[in-house]
Amino acid sequence: MTRLSVNKTYKLYINGQFPRSESGRSYPVTDAKGDFLANASWASRKDARDAVKAARAAFPDWSGRTAYNRSQVIYRIAEVLESRRGQFEDEIRSQEGAAASLARKAVDAAIDRLVWYAGWSDKLPQVLGGANPVAGPYFNQSTPEPSGVIAVIAPKGPLLGLVSVIAPVITSGNTCVAIASEPHPLSAITLGEVMATSDLPAGVVNLLTGPQVELAPWLASHMDVNGIDLTGVRDADLAISLEQAAAENLKRVRRSGVEDLFSAPDLDRMTTYLEIKTVWHPMGL
């Protein structure tokens, strides 16, 4: 008797769980040759609201942890990803038609990027903060603080692109709602499985799959989202409309051109969503 394989069901990743879209919708994902791979969940406006709610609930605990502890958690994500690298290499080859060497390079870069950001977690206050010289009998100290809930639209590159926009957001103490690459969503949910089996608290990262043209406007206009990263938005008209929607509640917006995902990361992705708090204290008290 021939055994039937158990096909993987790709769902959303919200609040540490893997729900189906409340809309019941899905869309087909094909490989580089146009052949069917799987059905991905088509997230709805309600799913986006649930993701923001989960991210907001997780923010006080995550931002309140020591920077060293956050670095340990992010490093743990890299550890689990390393242990499942074969699965990600297979998914990248099947989705993008990439050569084995390129798939291996992408997974290596994603793991190394997580480690790189983990190392920066407890160094940001030293680089961005410090004592300020003032003309008066006061101590004046500045220190960076996370902005809150950040929405990100991931670029193409199903693993490395997603890691490149999520890791800096959570390293700096923010929580995240991410829209995965529409044509390459499968590795995003597999990455959610990695996060769910690491030490990352539920709600710190939430992953939605579906058309960015439908989901992004709701996140851009959501009054409880504090910033938005438009890296994955390549349509100029959509990007402008998202910036206008974000301006309604003074969100921080990051918009960049086409980026080389394999290029070295920098601090800009972390500093964009940090606020600098300055404290004055009289001397001698």
Under the banding of pLDDT at 50, 70 and 90, the label for residue 134 is confident
- Mean pLDDT, residues 44-62 taken together: 97
Q: Average of pLDDT values for 2-14?
A: 88
Distance of alpha carbon 109 from alpha carbon 125, whole angstroms: 26
Q: Mind listing the pLDDT tens digit for each residue in 107-118? A: 999 999 999 999
Residue 133's pLDDT band (cuts 50, 70, 90): confident
Residue holding tokens 């890791």?
Answer: 167
Q: What is the pLDDT of residue 285?
A: 60
Q: Are 180 and 188 in contact (CB under 8 A)?
A: yes
| Domains, the chain, with CATH or none | 39-282 (3.40.605.10)
What's the CA gap between 27 and 182, in Å, rounded? 10
Residue 4, pLDDT above cutoff 90: no
Task: Kindly report the three-state secondary structure assignment for every residue of 83-108.
Answer: HCHHHHHHHHHHHHCCCHHHHHHHHH
Which residue bears the tokens 């004055």? 280
For β-strands 175-179 and 149-153, DSSP reports them as parallel
Per-residue pLDDT tens digits for 247-283: 988 899 998 777 788 888 888 899 999 998 888 888 8
- Which secondary-structure segment (H or E) carries 99? none
pLDDT of residue 19: 94
User: What is the per-residue pLDDT across 153-190, written as a single tens digit (0 to 9) for each?
Assistant: 999 877 999 999 999 999 999 999 999 999 889 889 99
Cβ neighbours, 10 Å, residue 25 = 14
Report residue 78 as tokens. Answer: 């890299």
Tokens at 26, concatenated: 């899905």
Contact 59, 170 (CB under 8 A): no
DSSP 211-253: -HHHHHHHHHH-TT--EEE-TT---HHHHHHHHHHHHTTT-EE
Residue in this structure with the two tokens 């994955």, named with its chain if needed:
232
Residue type, 192: G
| Residue 234's pLDDT band (cuts 50, 70, 90) | confident
Average pLDDT over residues 113-141: 87
Element (H, E) at 41: strand 36-41
CA–CA separation, 201 and 145 (whole Å): 19
The residues with which 280 forms a beta bridge, in sequence order, are 140
